Amino acid sequence: TVTMGWIGDHGSIHYMESYKDVWEAIGRKYTNIVLTIICDTFIETKDIALKKIPWSYEREINDLMSLDIGLMPLFDDLWSKGKCGFKIIQYLGVGVPAVCTPVGINRDVVQDGIHGLWANTKDEWVEKLSTLIENPSLREKMGGDGRRKIMDAYTVQVCAPKLIDWIKEMA
């Protein structure tokens, strides 16, 4: 079984709802796929197995680690361009490659073909997800490359000294 998943809150679940055609198409194409949603609210599906996990601080890391592919669909609008990419940082941080819309910070966090895949259209989403579903070694490589990127650029240990230096410069 391959698990593709999304973590978020009720304020962002509309992205998952808007891409439901993609999830359903993947469910019709593959019988070994599960869509996991980690949230406080959920969408409904008919053609893909859906696992609903209520978000929990205590389980968050383990829930993320249970995924094979992380999802971050967005719209190409001003609001989405201002999002922080935290989902992707979480996915990559536990070694899970991401498929994302290349909007805003997503373009900086995910290098297309290295840490995950970019998808703009719904057809591209189906194509890119299919690539990862069919290639476990590619998922493993991208997940490992993504984890290294997060460890090298996004941890407190790396960012805190930069912040301290910046504050000293401003003072």
Q: What is the pTM of this model?
A: 0.95
10-residue block means of pLDDT along the chain (171 residues)? 97 97 98 98 98 98 98 94 94 98 96 97 98 98 98 96 96 90
Helices (H), 100-135: 106-109, 122-134
Q: What is the pLDDT of residues 22-53, one digit of tens each?
A: 999 999 999 999 999 999 999 999 999 999 99
Sheet holding 33-39, edge to edge: 49-54, 33-39, 2-7, 69-72, 98-100, 116-118
Burial of 31 (0-12, 13-18, 19+ CB in 10 A): exposed
